[in-house]
Amino acid sequence: MSLVEIKNLKVHYPIRSGFWNRITDEVPAVDGISFNIEAGETYGLVGESGSGKSTTGKSVVGLEKVTSGQILYNGHDITRRNNRRKLDYNHDVQMIFQDSLSSLNPRKRIEDIIAEPLRNFEHLSKQDEKLRVLQLLDIVGLDADALYKYPHQFSGGQRQRIGVARAVATNPKLIIADEPVSALDLSVQAQVLNFMKKIQRDFGISYLFISHDLGVVRHMCTNLAIMNRGRLVEIGTCDDIYNHPLHIYTKRLLAAIPRTDVSQRAAHRASRLAVEEIYREQQDKYYDDNGRAYPLVAVSPTHQVALPPDIAQQLAHQESEADV
Amino acid sequence: MAENFNRNTNVSANDLARLSQEAEAEATPSSARIVWDEFKADKPAMVALVIVVGFILFVMIASLFINTPKMMQTNIMAYFDRPGTDGMWLGADSAGRSVAKQLIVGSRNSIGIAIGLTVISSTFGICWGLISGYFNGYIDWGMQRVYDFMMMLPMTMMIIVLVTIIPHYNAITLTLIFSIFYWEGTSRLIRSRTLAESEKDYVAASKTSGTSNFKIIFREIMPNISSLIIVDTTLSFAENIGVETGLSYLGFGLPTQTPSLGTMIANANDPNNITQYWWTWLPAALEIIILCLSISYIGQVIRRAADASQRQGAGD
C-alpha cells in the first residue's frame, strides 16, 4: 500500500459578489487529481505558477480546506480534521516552506523554533529536548551557537536548513517540500538539496517535492507529476517524463530549461520555437472544449498522460518509433 | 526514534553542557537589555523616563501623607493666596485650598484612572482584535457587528448618563465605565494587523507543528505585532489622562470632593482666574502637557527596541 494516496482531490475557492455577497463562481485551484506517494521515495510535482501545486501540497499537510476528494494516509482519510488529530498526523507529515524568512517566527529563538513540534508531539524533558535540537542543528550542518539567535541573523541558506531541521524534528514519514530552494542562489541550492537527500537516506523520509524547476526535480525525484491549470497532465518516472514526454505542456516545460551549451544556441532556439509552433497549432487537441486537461490514460505501466485514448496511443507509438 | 537521531550525528548527551555554554556565549541580548541600551542612546527619552517614573512615584507616595478631607476644607483666610505666601508653594484657590497638595492628590487620582483604564481597555481591545482577526469567517463577522454597535453609541453622552444614574460612584467605578467604551479603536487596529499576520508562513508552520490556535494567537502572532501594541498603548495612556480630565472639567468626572487634574483645570472656566489667578490652573495644565509628551517619547523608544531595523542603541 502506498504511504499517501490522493484520490480525485478538488480544492475550489469561492468567488463572492453581489449585494448579498453570495458565492457566484469558483476558482478550481485543484480540480480532481489523483496520485500515490510511496514510502521512501521523492515524488515531484511540477508546473507553472498558479497551476495548483502549492495548494495540493498544503492540502496534503492539512493546511487547506479540501472541497472534495480523499487523501488517504495509512487508510485513514485525513481531509477531516478529526482524523488528523486522532492520528497525530502532523507528527508524521511535515512541511518545508518556500520563503525561509517568513516561515520562521522572527520573534522566536532558533531553539524554540526547532523545538516547537517536539513540544507538541513528543513531550521530552528539558535536557532531552535541548539535546535533540543540538543534534538536529548538527545534522543540517549548523553550529551549536545558533541555538539562542534569531532568524534574521542567518543567511538564506542557513535559514532554509533551520526550516528543514524543524521539519525533521519529529522524524516524520513524509515531508512536503514546497519549492524549498527556489529562493536560494544556485550554489546554496545544491548544498540544501544534497543534504535533503542525505537526510532522506538516513531517516527513510518520503518527500513530496513541489517545484517549477525541472533541473532540480530531475536531481531529486524518482516519479513525478506535471500539473497544469489545476489538473495533472502527465505522470511517470523521471525517464518517462524527460525522455518520452507526450503532452504538449510537458514538452514546453522541458523546452524552457535553460541550456549552457553556447555553441548550439541557434539549434536550441529552433527546437524551442518548433515546440511553441506545435502548441499554437494543436492546442485544441490537448485540451477539451472548456480548456481543461483530459482525464489521464495509461500508455505504459508507469506512464500516464492526459489525452483522449486514441491520440495518446498514436503519440506513444510515434515516440517509441522515434526511439528505435 | 531517539536512536535514529543518535546514529546520524556526533552530538551526544556528553556534549550537552559544553554546547549549551557555547550557545550561551553567542546568545542575542535579552529584550530588557535591548530596551535599556535604546534608552541610553536617546537622551531626551531618558529624561522623559526619569520624569514620568519619578513623578508617578512621587505623587503615589506623597499623597499617602496628605489628609485629603482636611485639605479640601474651605479656609477663607487663604482666599487666592499668591504662591509662596502662608506656606503654600503654589498658592491657594478660591476656597483657600492648597494648590500644591491638590495637585499631588489630583495627579494620583487622574494617573491611577488612566493606568487602570489603559490596562483594562487595551487588554480587552487587543484580545478582541487578535481573536477576531485570527479566526476570520463567522467569528470575525459576529465580533465586528458587536464592535459596530458599540461604535455607534455616542460615547461621551453614554458616560455622562451612566455617571448620573449610578448613585455612589468613585474612581474605580468611573474607570470601569470608561473601559466599556475605550477598547474599540485598539481592537480594530489590532484586528487589521492580525489579518495580515495570520496569512504568513510562520503561522502555517506552527499549525503543522501541532500548536493550538490560542497558543498561536498569543505566543506567535502577538509578539510580532508588539510594536504596534506598545505604540497604541502608550498613545492611549496619554489620551486616557485626557479622558478623565476632560470629563471632570465638564463636571461629570470624579465627585467634587475628590481633587483631580480635571477639576483643577476647570478653574480656568472663570475669566478672572485666567487673567489674575493663573496659579490655580496653570500647574495642572503644564503637568498634563509634560506627562503626555514624556510618555510618547518613552513609547517611541520601546517601539524602536521592538523593531530590530530601527534600533539606535548598541548591541548586535
Q: Is residue B16 part of a domain?
A: no
Q: Which amino acid, one-letter code, is at A120?
A: N
* Chain A closest-CA separation from residue B131 CA (Å): 19
Cβ distance B23 to A109 less than 8 Å, yes or no, reads: no
Task: Determine the average pLDDT of the residues in B246-267.
Answer: 80
Q: Is A197 on the interface with B (CB under 8 A)?
A: no
pLDDT digits (tens, 9 = 90+) for B20-47: 777 777 777 777 788 888 888 888 999 9
* Chain B closest-CA separation from residue A59 CA (Å): 11
* Chain B closest-CA separation from residue A136 CA (Å): 8
Task: Determine the average pLDDT of the residues in A274-282.
Answer: 87
Cβ distance A117 to B28 less than 8 Å, yes or no, reads: no
Q: Which of B5, B200, B209 sits opposite A135 (nearest CB)?
A: B5
Q: Is A132 on the interface with B (CB under 8 A)?
A: yes
Looking at A243, A273, A299, which one is the last position of a domain?
A: A243
In contact, A154 and A184? CB cutoff 8 Å: no
Task: Determine the average pLDDT of the residues in B108-119.
Answer: 90
Residue A297, Ramachandran bin (φ over 0: left; ψ between -120 and 50: alpha; else beta)? beta
Cβ distance B10 to A203 less than 8 Å, yes or no, reads: no
Compute the distance between CA of residue B32 and CA of residue B314 in angstroms, rounded to an integer.
13
- Find where cell 536512536 sits: B3
Q: Is residue B17 part of a domain?
A: no
C-alpha cell at B32: 530588557
pLDDT digits (tens, 9 = 90+) for B79-105: 777 777 767 778 787 777 888 888 888
Residues A226, A166 within the same domain:
yes
Compute the distance between CA of residue B280 and CA of residue B276 in angstroms, rounded to an integer.
10
Q: Which amino acid, one-letter code, is at A306?
A: A
- Find where cell 545558533 sits: A146
- Find where cell 537516506 sits: A201
Which chain A residues are Cβ-neighbours of B6 within 8 angstroms? 135
Q: Is B3 on the interface with A (CB under 8 A)?
A: no
pLDDT digits (tens, 9 = 90+) for A226-270: 998 889 999 999 888 888 888 888 888 888 888 888 888 888 888
Which chain A residues are Cβ-neighbours of B20 within 8 angstroms? 130, 134, 144, 147
Residues 6+ apart with CB under 8 A from A317: none
Distance of CA A319 to the CA centre of its chain: 28
Compute the distance between CA of residue B277 and CA of residue B264 in angstroms, rounded to an integer.
12
Q: What percent of chain B is helix, strand and coil (3-state, nearest 5)?
A: 75, 0, 20
Residues within 8 A of B (CB atoms), A 75-104 only: 88, 90-91, 93-95, 97-99, 102-104
| C-alpha dihedral sign at B244, B249, B255, B258 | positive
Residues A237, A256 within the same domain:
no
- How is residue B131 annotated by DSSP? H
pLDDT digits (tens, 9 = 90+) for B170-179: 788 888 888 8
Residues A15, A92 within the same domain:
yes
pLDDT at B158 > cutoff 90: no
The angle subtended at Cα B122 by Cα A152 and Cα B289, nearest 5°, is: 95
What CATH number is associated with residue B287? 1.10.3720.10
Looking at A222, A243, A264, which one is the last position of a domain?
A: A243
Q: Is residue B38 part of a domain?
A: no
Cβ distance B5 to A130 less than 8 Å, yes or no, reads: no
Burial A27-36 (b: 16+ CB within 10 A, else e): ebbbbbbbbb
Residues A39, A168 within the same domain:
yes
pLDDT at B315 > cutoff 60: no
By C-alpha distance, the chain A residue nearest B7 is A202
Q: Is B31 on the interface with A (CB under 8 A)?
A: no
A310-314, A316-320, B7-11: least confidently modelled range: B7-11
In contact, A236 and A247? CB cutoff 8 Å: no
- The number of domains in chain A is 2
Q: Is residue B15 part of a domain?
A: no
Which chain B residues are Cβ-neighbours of A150 within 8 angstroms? 28, 308
* Chain A closest-CA separation from residue B305 CA (Å): 12
* Cα separation values, B44 from A23, A33, A288, A300, B314, Å: 56, 63, 71, 77, 17
- Residue span of the structural domain in which A266 resides: 244-324
Residues A108, A154 within the same domain:
yes
pLDDT digits (tens, 9 = 90+) for B285-309: 899 899 888 988 888 888 788 776 6
Q: Name which of A3, A4, A28, A33 is nearest A227 in CA terms.
A: A33
What CATH number is associated with residue A227? 3.40.50.300
Cβ distance A102 to B224 less than 8 Å, yes or no, reads: no
Residues A174, A259 within the same domain:
no
Q: What is the DSSP string of A145-186?
A: GGTT--GGGS-HHHHHHHHHHHHHTT--SEEEEESTTTTS-H
- Find where cell 545544491 sits: A190
Task: Determine the average pLDDT of the residues in B63-71.
Answer: 82
Q: Is A318 on the interface with B (CB under 8 A)?
A: no
Cβ distance A105 to B202 less than 8 Å, yes or no, reads: yes
Residues A216, A85 within the same domain:
yes
Q: Is residue B100 part of a domain?
A: yes
Compute the distance between CA of residue A212 and CA of residue A208 in angstroms, rounded to an integer.
13
Cβ distance A103 to B316 less than 8 Å, yes or no, reads: no
Q: How high is the ipTM of this complex?
A: 0.86
Residues A218, A251 within the same domain:
no
Residues A105, A176 within the same domain:
yes
Q: Is A172 on the interface with B (CB under 8 A)?
A: no
Task: Determine the average pLDDT of the residues in B128-153.
Answer: 91
pLDDT at B112 > cutoff 50: yes
Looking at A208, A226, A243, which one is the last position of a domain?
A: A243
Compute the distance between CA of residue B219 and CA of residue A113 in angstroms, rounded to an integer.
12
Cβ distance A107 to B10 less than 8 Å, yes or no, reads: no
Q: Name which of A107, A261, A112, A209 is nearest B34 in CA terms.
A: A107
Q: In what order do the strands lie in the sheet with A206-211?
A: A93-96, A174-178, A206-211, A42-47, A223-228, A231-237, A304-306, A296-298
Residues A313, A223 within the same domain:
no
Q: Which amino acid, one-letter code, is at A222?
A: T
Which chain B residues are Cβ-neighbours of A197 within 8 angstroms? none
How confident is residue B316, by pLDDT bands cut at 50, 70 and 90? very low
Q: What is the mean pLDDT of chain B?
A: 84
Q: Is residue B304 part of a domain?
A: yes
Cβ distance A148 to B27 less than 8 Å, yes or no, reads: yes
- The number of domains in chain B is 1
- Residue span of the structural domain in which B170 resides: 47-310
pLDDT at A208 > cutoff 50: yes
Residues A190, A46 within the same domain:
yes
Q: Which amino acid, one-letter code, is at B131?
A: I
